[in-house]
Amino acid sequence: MNMITNHMPTAELQALDAAHHMHPFTSGTELAAKGARVITRASGVTLTDSEGNEMLDAMAGLWCVNLGYGRDELAEAAARQMKELPYYNTFFQTTHVPAIALSSKLAELTPHDLNNVFFAGSGSEANDTNIRLVRTYWAEKGQPEKKIIISRKNAYHGSSVGSASLGGMQPMHAHGGLPIEDIHHIDEPNWYAQGGDMSPAEFGLERARQLEAAIEEYGAHRVAAFIGEPIQGAGGVIIPPETYWPEIQRICDKHNILLIADEVITGFGRTGKWFGCETLGIRPHIMTIAKGLSSGYAPIGGSLLCDEVAQVMNDCDFAHGYTYSGHPVACAVALENLRILQEEKIVDRAGSEVAPYLKEKWDTLNDHPLVGETALCGLMGSLALSPDPSSRAMFAADKGTAGLICREHCFANGLVMRHVGDRMVISPPLVITHAEIDTLVERARKALDLTHAELKDKGLM
């Protein structure tokens, strides 16, 4: 076979891709008919495809390239580490400098006493760690029956058997017979779609109190933990009412339930502070991290544990770990990423300058006849598409037809926005400039106009 390179004609690359490459969350048959978009290069917030088209990546890949594309320092950190020590494990009483340095750095950056990290290769793996960890923690404390984990419908916590069980997406549960035992889901704090006549504040309390009702139903002596994304990401950037998290925290504290904040998306500056739990005022016992930890330049994730939980786990021989737990190259890349985010004040500026400007511009889309709501926290945001914005109406069965049409118009107009049902979501690199924000919002408006026209043409609104 000839060498496969960026210089091959797109159609040939697409044919080989369709023949051999199985894509996540994709119908292979549909994709083969259409041909995958082949991304060849990226710099800053801009992607280039094999046809030379440029697109503004308002999703930072999959919510991960917080630092933006093309930072040579990270490539150099990886190359240096590969030459010095490309691999060694952290099992069996062994360590190496990149893992020591990254765990120390994380202890410095994370709030309160989340001083202890168990590394994984991804967010899914880290959440699998959390399932075994919280159950082991309670067993070590003499309460082996404290095993139930409560999560939320429409949560996303990963794709492995354990993490997809924590997640609350029905179509994911349908594949593979999930959830595993002793994982239960309460309703999500999605006021726009489900709040009815309640005020956001009332609704936030009602949804949080479902946790208390579930704990009372199963018995606190059986409930190990509650897990939630501070802001649901893959569920559509659902920003909970302000009353929600304080009530969840109160309930966890009162009933002695561990609180796990899944910060895979909300970590590392995404909400305008280093961690979403700082923005939303949460004090978790355990925090899941991945994505922005390395800005996606290397696969790495982890579970951060507060001192008390770590102490108990350190006293037991936890039979758990991944070949790539604390992979030295991934750790070196993550460290360099964190150095730049901190030294160049990228996280600080994301909160103080970029997020306020993005909010001002994003909210201008509120007047569009297709937009029922604009939501934004830091640099993660969403638009609810609606056939009648004045009444928070949803498109029939919220099947995502409008969202899909809008996403395609975005692509065709040089913008990567994702759709979750009929919500459009953004999560751009934190380094996005004001001029690039202007472009993002202009292209979004154009895509909305085209979507509006197409929906009318098709009699869908």
Summarize as ranges the residues that interact with ligand PMP (CB under 6 A): 62, 122-124, 127, 156-158, 229, 233-234, 262, 264-265, 290, 301
The encoded tokens of residue 56 equal 């503004």
> Cβ closer to ligand PMP: 292 or 351?
292
- Taking the CA atoms of residue 218, residue 201, residue 261 and residue 109 in that order, the dihedral angle to the nearest 10 degrees is -150
Cβ–Cβ under 8 Å, residues 155 and 146: no
Phi, psi of 118, rounded to the nearest 5 degrees: -110, 115
Instruction: List Cβ neighbours of 369 (8 Å cut-off, separation of 6 or more).
Output: 389, 452
CB nearer to ligand PMP: give 125 or 212.
125
Q: How far apart are CA 356 and CA 363, in angstroms?
A: 11
Which residues does 19 contact at the CB level (< 8 Å), separation at least 6? Answer: none
Q: Is the peptide bond before 230 cis (omega within 30 degrees of 0)?
A: no
Q: Which is nearer to ligand PMP, 264 or 298 (CB)?
A: 264
Chain centre distance of CA 460:
31
Q: At what angle do helices 72-84 and 328-343 cross, to 10 degrees?
A: 150
Cβ proximity to ligand PMP: between 189 and 372 the closer is 189
Closest CA relative to residue 65, chosen from 226, 262, 298: 298
Residue nearest to ligand PMP (CB): 123
Give which of 415, 414, 421, 374 is closest to 395, Cα–Cα. Answer: 421
Q: Which residue bears the tokens 């006021």?
A: 191
Helix ranges (DSSP H) in 266-368 = 276-280, 307-314, 328-343, 346-349, 355-362
Tokens 């390395």 map to which residue? 294
Q: Of 132 and 221, which CB lies nearer to ligand PMP in the complex structure?
A: 132
- Element housing 240 (H / E): none
C-alpha–C-alpha distance, residues 198 and 260, integer Å: 28
Strand partners, 381: 376, 426
H-run or E-run covering 371:
strand 371-377
Query: Of 13 and 74, which CB lies nearer to ligand PMP in the complex structure?
Result: 74
Q: How far is the CB of 335 from ligand PMP (least distance, A)?
A: 19
Whole-number minimum distance, CB 234 to ligand PMP, in Å?
A: 5
**E-assigned strand segments in 240-328:** 258-262, 286-289, 301-305
Q: How far is the CB of 23 from ligand PMP (least distance, A)?
A: 14
DSSP tag of 55: E
Min CB(397)–ligand PMP separation in Å: 25
The secondary structure element, H or E, covering residue 92 is none
Q: Which is nearer to ligand PMP, 59 or 461 (CB)?
A: 59
- With H, G, I as helix, E, B as strand and everything else as coil, classify residue 103: helix
Of 230 and 241, nearer to ligand PMP (C-beta) is 230
Q: Report the residue number, 338 or 380, with the smaller CB distance to ligand PMP.
A: 380
Task: Kindly tell me which of 127 and 210 has the beta carbon lying closer to ligand PMP.
Answer: 127
Rounded least distance, CB 133 to ligand PMP, Å: 15
Residue-wise DSSP of 407-430: HHHHHHTTEE-EEETTEEEE---T
To the nearest whole angstrom, how small is the minimum distance from the Cβ of residue 110 to ligand PMP?
17
| Shortest separation between residue 151's beta carbon and ligand PMP, angstroms | 11
103 vs 294 by CB, closer to ligand PMP = 294
Shortest distance in whole angstroms from residue 91 CB to ligand PMP:
21
Q: Provide the 3-class DSSP secondary structure of residue 270.
A: coil
Q: How far is Cα 305 from Cα 303, in angstroms, rounded to an integer?
A: 6
CB of 64 to ligand PMP, least distance (A): 8
Q: Tokens 């697109």 label which residue? A: 55
Shorter beta-carbon distance to ligand PMP: residue 295 or 386: 295
How far apart are CB 435 and ligand PMP at their closest, in Å? 29
Work out how close the CB of 265 gets to ligand PMP at its nearest, in angstroms, rounded to a whole number: 5
Type of residue numbered 434:
H
Least distance to ligand PMP, CB of residue 89, Å: 20
